């Protein structure tokens, strides 16, 4: 049973997380004006259809507004925290060119993203055990080569507490 | 600890004016894209904000940019009008600077300068025919 819709791959987590445009923290609002007809807006229409979900997924705190058929020419407008506005003309550009352009002007660079990733990794220690939310593994029994979980494979007699206690009382 | 601006989370927002019945205050509807967790599709979620508009220059239907005030002005008003992005009926295309409506520009619409003599006489004749005479009974 296939997924519903025209390009349902846009609605998968893998596709959404593949977006590589992460805006700098000063970008607050993004406005896209495009037209539903006309060859000049074709790239903008494809951008809205394919790339806006990826961008919004990666930047949940940026407000994105879409306006259709307000002006003859398609454009993007970004509102930054210091009051500055960035106008990007996207007439006659493909959606790939548009994403590359905004990644270059307002996106975090790859080094910044890697540095943030490393900072986040430093907070959690990989060698500890606990709930899945905070640690990698929950119990030593999950690791290959260690004693398997007694819930699935009974422990040998010598390791069991009742045998050890019986040996001690003897 | 200093709070430089915004006792509120949203510092700059863009929305559409839905009401101006309050004095010096505009009711603005802001839509954000929110991901539905099951369908994995983005839908518009609306929220209304009240913005201080001292000159009462907003009309219902304008697209406005709001800026968060440093402290709350009243119980509900936490933003003020920064600028009107698109005025309803008088949209200006930011790339060319010309007034437009929909997908066409509004300048140079009337071609009365390009009409010839024959056209003007023909048109004035037609207008004479259309004139309604009240004396005819």
**A28-39 CB burial, b ≥16 within 10 A, e <16:** bbbbbbbbeebe
Residue B69 has pLDDT above 90, yes or no: yes
Instruction: Inform me whether the pLDDT recorded for B133 exceeds 70.
Output: no
Q: Which helix (H) or strand (E) holds A135?
A: none
Are A72 and B100 a contacting pair at CB < 8 A?
yes
Q: How many domains does chain A have?
A: 2
Question: Which residue in A has a C-alpha nearest to residue B82's C-alpha?
Answer: A83
Same domain? For A74 and A16 the reply is yes
Q: Are A81 and A28 in a shared domain?
A: yes
- With a pLDDT cut of 70, the percent of chain A lying above it is 100
Contacts of B90 in chain A (CB under 8 A): none
Output the pLDDT for position B1: 46
Residues A85 and A155 in one domain: no
| Longest CA pairwise span in chain A (Å) | 95
Decide if A64 and B32 are in contact by the 8 Å CB cutoff.
yes
Closest by Cβ to A56, choosing from B10, B33, B94? B33
* Length reported for chain B: 137
A89-108, pLDDT tens digit by residue?
Answer: 999 899 999 999 999 999 99
The length of chain A is 170
- What span, in angstroms and rounded, lies between the C-alpha atoms of B19 and B60? 6
Please give the model's pTM, rounded to 2 decimal places.
0.79
In the block, which residue shows the tokens 């295309």? B93
Q: Is residue A1 part of a domain?
A: no
Chain A residues close to B82, C-beta within 8 Å: 83
- Name residue B48's beta-bridge partners: B29
Question: Does residue A82 sit in the same domain as residue A158?
Answer: no
Q: Considering only the beta carbons, identify the residue of A69, A81, A89 that sits closest to B103.
A: A69
Token reading at A19: 């977006």
- What ranges do the domains of chain B cover? 12-89
Let me know if residue A2 belongs to a domain.
no
The string of DSSP codes covering chain B is ----S-SSS-SEEEEEEEE--STTEEEEEEEEEEE-TTT--EEEEEEEEEEE-TT----TT-EEEEEE-SS-SSSSEEEEEEEEEE-TT--B-TTT--BEETTEE-TT---GGG--HHHHHHHHHHHHHHPPPTT--
- Please indicate, yes or no, if residue A119 is contained in any of the structural domains: no
Residue of A51, A57, A79 best to disrupt the B interface, most CBs of B under 10 A: A79
| pLDDT score of B110 more than 90 | no
The whole domain housing A59 covers 8-109
Q: In this structure, is residue A40 part of a structural domain?
A: yes
Neighbouring-strand partners of residue B57:
none
Beta-carbon contacts of residue A130 (< 8 Å; ≥ 6 apart): A138
ipTM for this prediction: 0.79
* Residue B128 confidence class, pLDDT cut points 50, 70, 90: confident
Picking from B81, B87, B83, the residue whose alpha carbon sits closest to that of residue B22 is B81
Percent of chain B with pLDDT over 70: 86
With contact defined as beta carbons under 8 Å apart, do B48 and B28 qualify?
yes
Say which of B11, B39, B103 has its CB closest to residue A72.
Answer: B103
Cβ of A170: how many Cβ atoms within 10 Å? 5
pLDDT digit string, tens, across residues A6-62:
999 999 999 999 999 999 999 999 999 999 998 999 999 999 999 999 999 999 999
CB contact under 8 A, A71 and B94: yes
Mean pLDDT computed over A130-143:
91
Amino acid B107: pLDDT: 81
Residue numbers of A between 6 and 35 with CB closer than 8 Å to B: 11-13, 16, 28-29, 31, 35
Question: Quick one: A100 exposed, middle or buried, by C-beta within 10 A (0-12, 13-18, 19+)?
Answer: middle
Please tell me the number of Cα atoms within 13 Å of A130 on its side-chain side: 8
Residues 62-81 of A with CB under 8 A from B: 63-65, 67, 69-73, 75, 77, 79, 81
Inter-chain touch B96–A73, beta carbons under 8 Å: yes
In a domain, A114, yes or no: no
Question: Which residue among A69, A83, A89 sits closest to B102, beta carbon to beta carbon?
Answer: A69
Q: Is there a contact between A37 and B103 if contact means CB atoms under 8 Å apart? A: yes
pLDDT of residue B119: 80
A70/B42 Cβ within 8 A:
no
Helix, strand or coil for residue A5?
coil
Alpha helix segments (H runs only) across chain A:
13-17, 42-46, 52-58, 95-106, 110-123, 161-169
pLDDT tens digits, B9-67: 889 999 999 999 999 999 999 999 999 999 999 999 999 999 999 999 999 999 999 99
Give the CATH class of B12-89. mainly beta
């Amino acid at each position: 049973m296939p997924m519903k819709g025209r390009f349902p791959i846009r609605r998968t987590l893998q596709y959404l997380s593949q977006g590589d445009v992460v805006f700098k923290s000063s970008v607050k609002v993004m406005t896209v004006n495009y037209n539903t007809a006309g060859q000049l807006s074709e790239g903008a229409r494809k951008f809205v259809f394919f790339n806006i979900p990826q961008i919004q997924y990666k930047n949940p705190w940026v407000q994105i507004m879409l306006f259709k058929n307000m002006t003859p020419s398609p454009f993007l407008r970004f509102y930054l925290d210091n009051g500055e506005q960035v106008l990007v003309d996207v007439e006659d550009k493909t959606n790939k060119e548009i994403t590359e352009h905004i990644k270059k002007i307002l996106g975090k660079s790859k080094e910044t993203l890697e540095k943030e990733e490393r900072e986040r990794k430093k907070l959690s220690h990989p060698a500890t055990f606990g709930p899945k939310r905070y640690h990698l593994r929950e119990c030593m029994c999950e690791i290959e080569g260690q004693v398997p979980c007694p819930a699935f494979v009974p422990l040998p007699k010598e390791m069991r507490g009742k045998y050890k206690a019986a040996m001690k009382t003897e | 600890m200093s709070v430089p601006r915004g006792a509120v989370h949203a510092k700059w927002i863009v929305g559409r004016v839905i009401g101006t019945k309050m004095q010096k205050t505009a009711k603005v509807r802001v839509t954000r894209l929110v991901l539905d967790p099951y369908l994995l599709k983005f839908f518009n979620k609306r929220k209304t904000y009240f913005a201080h508009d001292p000159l009462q220059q907003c009309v219902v239907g304008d697209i406005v940019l709001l800026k968060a005030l440093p402290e709350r002005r009243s119980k509900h008003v936490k933003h003020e009008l920064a600028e009107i992005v698109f005025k309803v009926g008088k949209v200006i295309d930011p790339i060319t600077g010309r007034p437009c409506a929909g997908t066409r520009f509004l300048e140079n619409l009337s071609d009365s300068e390009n009409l010839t003599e024959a056209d003007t006489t023909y048109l004035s004749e037609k207008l004479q025919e259309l004139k309604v005479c009240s004396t005819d009974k």
